[in-house]
Amino acid sequence: MKRFLSSLLHLSVGVCFMLFFVLFSYIWQTVPALSFMKPHPFYFLGIVLLLTIIGICGMGFWGIKRFQSLSKEERKARILKSKKKMPFALLALVVYIAIVIIFLILIREKVFPLWVKINFIYILAVSFLIVLSINNYVVDLSYDRKLKQSIQEKESVNLKLRSIRSQLNPHFMFNALTSIQGLMNKNDIPAANHYLTLFANLTRKVLNTSEQDLISLEDELKIQEDYLQMEQLRFGFQYEVTVSDEINIANTEIPAMLLQPFVENAVKHGVALLQQNGNIQVQVSKQGNNLVLSVTDNGKGFDKEKITRKEGSLGLKLSEERIALLNQVHPDEPTTLIIDSKQTGTTIAITLVNLFS
């Protein structure tokens, strides 16, 4: 109904605009006070052209401002809808121009008042507006139906994403408590107390982001560094987090806790057995418009097919499901996951395509 009223409003404005010029052209031809303009018909056509240009420029300026105020997703949707309307609008314009040319050829030798000839063009213009308004209404109706379906699908996917996040957080907590238990079993009370302090700080950060779909890359890396520092107390491995200088981590947003399961995997299945000889590298780089996050360890590697069937690999399985769902929500900016595991170590690379476009 809203789209119908919008199309009706646009049509009404166009009809009133054309009726104004019909009345103006009639007065121009019939009122004696304006007789000085009759030898110069270009006066009238010049006024019409000037008002038309002003109207087009005004609508164009308004359209640009409105487009700039839209979100990225809304801009894509508006461009897609405009592409669907454009072929029909161009066809209607060509037909309109052809009819005007044919009419002018037919009346060239006939005697009609000039205002009748001009008004015929106005009538064609109104007809043109009617056809465009109908097309606008039909395309918008179809588009709204598809948009509503798309929104419902995205809401369903977002619910699944939140469900996965809700499973990842307890999984992370369970692994951390297992580490605390390991320190207690070693009777290393000072290390366990320190671990508990770090664990409390880390838990607070994780809970603060639990309701956010996106967080800054800076916050994500802080969480990973806190986690690595915490696990370093238990296993004694070395780690390093490096970020390319061209990346503004404070203003770059990524899905919350995207790296966490892979960093946990590097600790648990990579360097845990190596103890002080273990090494983990977390690297953040920019490749074109893509953001690349990689986690590398020097552990013994693993068979992905075997490990995903184990109960202990829940984080890895949930992360793969999460990335697949994220790609359904953002098909134009997909996230890719590559796992390269060898006997000399494992590298997990996550690429957020077109993040900087």
- Tell me if 175 is assigned to some domain: no
| Res 12: pLDDT | 62
Q: Are residues 324 and 246 in the same domain?
A: yes
Residue 13 placed within a domain: yes
130 vs 36: which has the higher pLDDT:
130
Q: How many CB atoms lie within 10 A of CB 263?
A: 24
Q: pLDDT value at position 284? A: 96
The per-residue pLDDT for 194 is 84
**pLDDT mean over 38-46:** 51
Residue finishing a domain among 145, 172, 206? 145
- The answer to which of 146-150, 237-241, 326-330, 339-343 has the lowest mean pLDDT is 146-150
Domain end among 145, 176, 211: 145
CA dist list (Å): 54 to 50, 65, 257: 6, 17, 52
Residues 346, 249 within the same domain? yes
Q: Which helix (H) or strand (E) holds 105?
A: helix 72-106
Print the domain residue range for 309. Answer: 188-352
> 342 pLDDT band (50/70/90 cuts)?
confident
Enter the tokens of residue 81: 């809808």
- In whole numbers, what is the pLDDT of the chain averaged over residues? 73
Written as one string, the DSSP assignment of 58-76 is HHHHHHHHHHHTS-HHHHH
Q: What is the pLDDT of residue 44?
A: 52
Cβ atoms within 10 Å, residue 218 = 14
Q: Are residues 116 and 207 in the same domain?
A: no
Is 225 within the bounds of a domain?
Answer: yes
Q: What is the pLDDT of residue 39?
A: 46
- Report pLDDT for 153: 61
Give the mean model confidence (pLDDT) for residues 196-224: 85
Indicate the residue type of 287: Q
Q: Which residues contact 81 (CB under 8 A, 6 or more apart)?
A: 139, 140, 143
Answer yes or no: is 288 within a domain.
yes
Let me know: does 292 contact 284? Beta carbons within 8 Å. Answer: yes
In this structure, the dihedral spanned by the alpha carbons of residues 92, 93, 97 and 98, taken in order and rounded to 10 degrees, is -40
Looking at residue 279, what is its pLDDT? Answer: 96
* Same-domain pairing of 336 and 213: yes
Which residues is 336 bridged to in the sheet? 351
Can you give the pTM of this predicted structure?
Answer: 0.58
Tell me, yes or no, whether 224 and 311 share the same domain. Answer: yes
Please report, for the domain that includes residue 238, its CATH number.
3.30.565.10
Token pair 């995997």 in the structure block, residue: 265
Do 195 and 331 reside in the same domain of the chain? yes
Q: What is the average pLDDT across 222-231? A: 90
Question: Going by DSSP bridges, is the β-strand pair 345-352/335-342 parallel, antiparallel, or unpaired?
Answer: antiparallel
pLDDT, mean of residues 138-158: 61
What does the pLDDT read at residue 305?
63
Asked if the structure places residue 339 within a domain, the reply is yes
pLDDT class of 323 with cuts at 50, 70, 90: confident
Strands 238-243 and 279-287: parallel
Give residue-wise pLDDT tens across range 76-117.
666 666 666 666 666 666 666 666 566 555 555 555 555 555
**48 occurs within a structural domain:** yes
Q: Which two tokens stand for residue 274?
A: 């190596």
Does residue 173 form part of some domain?
A: no
- Higher pLDDT: 36 or 133? It is 133
243 and 334 share one domain: yes
Q: What's the rounded Cα separation, in Å, for the pair 91 and 100? A: 14
| Same-domain check for residues 110 and 227 | no
- Judged by average pLDDT, the poorest of 9-18, 204-213, 270-279, 321-330 is 9-18
Residues 100 and 233 in one domain: no
Residue 176 confidence (pLDDT): 72
Same domain assignment for residues 102 and 220: no
Write down the pLDDT at residue 65: 72
Instruction: Identify whether residues 111 and 227 lie together within a single domain.
Output: no
Is the domain of 198 the same as that of 77? no
Asked whether residue 46 carries a pLDDT value surpassing 60, the answer given is no
Does a structural domain hold residue 163?
no
Question: Which residue among 93, 118, 145 closes a domain?
Answer: 145
Could you give the 3-state DSSP secondary structure of residue 296?
strand
Q: What value does the mean pLDDT take over residues 317-322?
A: 80
- Structural domains in the chain (count): 2
First to last CA, the chain: 36
